[in-house]
Structure 1
Amino acid sequence: MTDLCKAYRSLPFKIFLKHRWLLALLMILLLSLGCFHQYTGYVSFFFRAIRYTNELVENPKPVAIHHNHQGRNESVVCIIETSLGDACEGLGFASLVLETIDDITTCLARGFVPTVIWTECDYCGPPGNGQNYWTWYFEGRNEDIVQQAKTRVCMAPKRHPYGMPSVYLTRTGAMGELVDFRFADLENKVTEYYQPITAETRALANHVISGYLQPAARIKNAVDTFYQSFMADSINIGVHVRLKAGHAREMTLNHQTPPELQDFVQVVHRLINDITAKYADREIRIYLASDLDQVIKEFKSKFGNNRVLHIAASRGKSLNDDVIRKDSPNLLGDQVFTDILLMSKCDYFVHDESNVASVTYYYNPNLKSYYVSGDASDFRRLNAQPRFDSEELFRQAVAKETRNIILPDWRDDTLWAGLKARGGMLFRLLFTERQYLNTLRCFYKNMKWSKCRREFLRSKFASDSDIKKLMDL
Structure 2
Amino acid sequence: MGDLRKARHSTSLPLKMMWKHRRLISSLVVLSFAAGCFHFAGYVSFFFRAIQYTNELAENPKPVAIHHNRQGRNESVACVIETSLGDACHGLGFGALVLRAIDDITTCLARGFVPTVIWTDCDYCGPPGNGQNYWTWYFEGMNEDIVQQAKTRVCMAPSRFPFSGPSPYLTRTGATGELIDCRFADLENKMTDYQPITAEIRALANHVISGYLQPAARIKTAVDTFYQSFMADSINIGVHVRLQSSHAEEMTFFDQTAPELQDFVQVVQRLINDINAKNEGREIRIYLASDLDEVIKEFKSNFGNNRVLHIDAFRGESLVDDRTFEGSPNLVGDQVFTDILLMSKCDYFVHDESNIASVTYYYNSNLKSYYVSGDASDFRRLNAQPRFDSEELFRQAVARETRNIILPDWKHDSLWAGLKVRVSLLWGFLFTDVKGYSDDLKCFYKNVKWSKCRREFLRSKFASDSDMKELMGL
Moved more, 369-378 or 191-200: 191-200
CA contact (8 A) 1:314 1:326 kept: no
- Shift in Å at residue 281 of structure 1? 1.4
1:210 aligned residue? 210
8 Å CA contact 2:59, 2:418 repeated in 1: no
SS of equivalent residue, structure 1 residue 114: strand
Q: CA deviation at 1:325?
A: 3.3
RMSD across aligned positions (CA): 3.0
- Distance (whole Å) between structure 1 residues aligned to residue 428 and residue 88 of structure 2: 23
- Structure 1 residues 8, 221: closer, same or farther in 2, change over 3 A? closer
Aligned residue in 2 for 1:22: none
The match for 2:459 is: 458
1:139 matched to 2:140? The reply is yes
Aligned counterparts of 2:362 and 2:420: Cα–Cα separation in 1: 42
- Partner SS for 2:151: strand
- Give the 3 Å change call, closer, same or farther, for CA 32–432 of structure 1 in structure 2: farther
Tell me the residue number matched to 1:307. 307
1:264 maps to: 264
Aligned length: 464
- Structure-2 separation of matches of 1:33 and 1:427: 34
Q: Distance in 1 between matches of 2:245 and 2:321?
A: 9
Cα displacement (A) at 1:410: 5.5
- When residues 144 and 350 of structure 1 are mapped into structure 2, their CA distance, relative to the original with a 3 A threshold, is same
Structure 2: runs of 5 or more not aligned: 20-26
Q: 1:110 to 1:230 in 2, by over 3 A?
A: same
Contact 2:86 2:158 in 1 (8 A): yes
Corresponding residue number in structure 1 for 2:244? 244
Deviations 1:64-115 (A, max 9, x none): 0000011111111111111101233211111000000000001000000111
- Equivalent residue of 1:331, what SS? helix
Counterpart amino acid of 1:399?
A: A
Query: Are 2:375 and 1:383 aligned?
Result: no
Please give the alpha-carbon distance, in whole angstroms, between the structure 2 residues aligned to 1:277 and 1:416. 61
Q: How does 1:369-380 map to 2 (within 5 A)?
A: 369-380=369-380
Alignment of 1:3-402 (within 5 A): 37-54=38-55, 56-160=57-161, 163-187=164-188, 189-402=189-402
What is the rounded CA distance, in whole Å, between the counterparts of 1:295 and 1:212 in structure 2?
Answer: 33
Distance across 2 between alignment mates of 1:59 and 1:168? 20
Structure 2: distance between partners of 1:384 and 1:8 = 88
Classify the secondary structure of the residue corresponding to 2:294.
helix
Note the alpha carbon deviations across 1:223-260, whole angstroms, 9 max, x for none.
Answer: 00000000000000000000010111111110111100
More displaced 10-residue stretch of structure 1: 116-125 or 28-37: 28-37
Distance 2:11 2:293 in 1: 72
Structure 1: 4+ residue segments shifted above 6 A: 1-10, 26-34
The answer on whether the counterparts of 1:264 and 1:372 sit within 8 Å (CA) in structure 2 is yes
- Asked if structure 2 preserves the Cα contact closer than 8 Å seen for 1:161 and 1:175, the reply is no
Cα distance change, pair 196–450 in 1 and its aligned pair in 2 (3 A): same
Deviation at 1:42, TM superposition (A): 1.9
The 1:75/1:54 distance shift into structure 2, 3 A limit, reads farther
Distance 1:204 1:333 in 2: 24
- Tell me if the contact between 2:58 and 2:162 (Cα under 8 Å) persists in the aligned partners: no
State how far apart, in whole Å, the 2-side matches of 1:5 and 1:274 are. 94
Identity percentage of aligned residues: 75
Compared CA separation, residues 150 and 217, structure 1 to 2 (3 A)? same
Indicate the SS of the match to 2:450: coil
| In structure 2, distance between residues paired with 1:331 and 1:55 | 37
Aligned residue runs from structure 1 range 413-432, under 5 A = 414=415, 417=418, 421=422, 424=425, 428=429
> Structure 2 vs 1, CA of residues 212 and 7 (structure 1 numbering), >3 Å: closer, same or farther?
closer
Partner SS, residue 88 of structure 2: helix
Report the CA distance between 1:433 and its aligned residue.
1.2
The CA deviation at 1:330 is 0.6
Q: In 1, Cα distance between the equivalents of 2:66 and 2:86?
A: 18
CA distance in 2, matches of 1:161, 1:252: 21
**TM-score, length basis structure 1:** 0.91
